[in-house]
Amino acid sequence: MEIIKVIVDGRGGTGKSTMLQSLIKGNFIDNTRITIGVNFFTKDYFLLEHEVRAQFWDLGGVCRFDFLRSNYYKGAHSCVLVGDLTRPNTFEELNYFISLAREVNLTSDQIILVANKTDLFDCRIVDPDYLRLIMEKYHLECLIETSARFRDNLEIVFELAILIGLRTKGKITEEEYQDHREFLERRIQSVHDELYNTRKIIRKCWNCSRPLYFSEFSSTNASLSKERLVELWENPHLEFYCCNCFKNLESQSE
């Protein structure tokens, strides 16, 4: 069995631990506690005829843990750097993490940049043009937008990290790597197309006419599946209420 070490890093609150919890355990935890030092996760894969045990090293994102960080980067085969689409500063600080990766000889094509929290559509501040500038500035090759809440592209991010690790260890050919990467990129486009139009829909509260967004609707109905949320949101015949108006209606009916 091949052991692939993957560093998962970035500033605090970007959703690194939430992503890994969702990947490994299949559940979304909105209020994940801050990572103290490092969390360690493993997951087994069977990829391109190789049995792989992936080791995901989830590093705490707050500055007071920076003195520990370089030690964990040693021996890594790939690196996933996570930024928060609602907080531009998490991308502005990428230089520090990329420098650490390069100090241990991780090259640009071994680093995956993840732009997390696409489900917070109406809160998004970081636009695609800015992300393209980041990619050009640091000569990165792979950018993936994700949602830990809906698991959008979540499996793809870490499968690509494993694929990069197998290539780094010389276990697959360049042709095998490129073919499977193209397959993953088609899956990314499919996920993007699936929810893009849904998230563009803006509803209005039937009581106060306040604009309502899909991210607000999904976060207040967290028990529903993504498929059910989309089905309801795209139904033009349903009445939607903002949280305040809904609470008022409930209190009046009691």
Residue partners of 151: CB distance under 8 A and separation at least 6: 22, 23, 28, 226
Task: Report the C-alpha gap between 79 and 9 in whole angstroms.
Answer: 8
Domain ranges in the chain are 2-194, 201-253
Query: With pLDDT > 70 as the criterion, what percentage of the chain qualifies?
Result: 91
Please give the torsion angle defined by the CA atoms of residues 57, 185, 189 and 8, in that order, rounded to the nearest 10 degrees: 10
CA atoms of 234 and 212, how far apart (whole Å) = 13
Q: How many residues does the structure list for the chain?
A: 254
Q: Which residue has the tokens 């599946």?
A: 225
Q: Nearest-CA neighbor of 224 among 114, 113, 115, 149? A: 149
Would you tell me which CATH number, out of the four given (1.20.140.150, 3.40.50.300, 3.40.640.10, 3.30.70.20), belongs to the domain 2-194? 3.40.50.300
* pLDDT tens string 171-222: 999 999 999 999 998 888 877 766 667 777 888 888 888 888 887 787 677 6
- Rounded Cα distance, 133 and 204, in Å: 35
pLDDT in tens, 107-125: 999 999 999 998 887 788 9
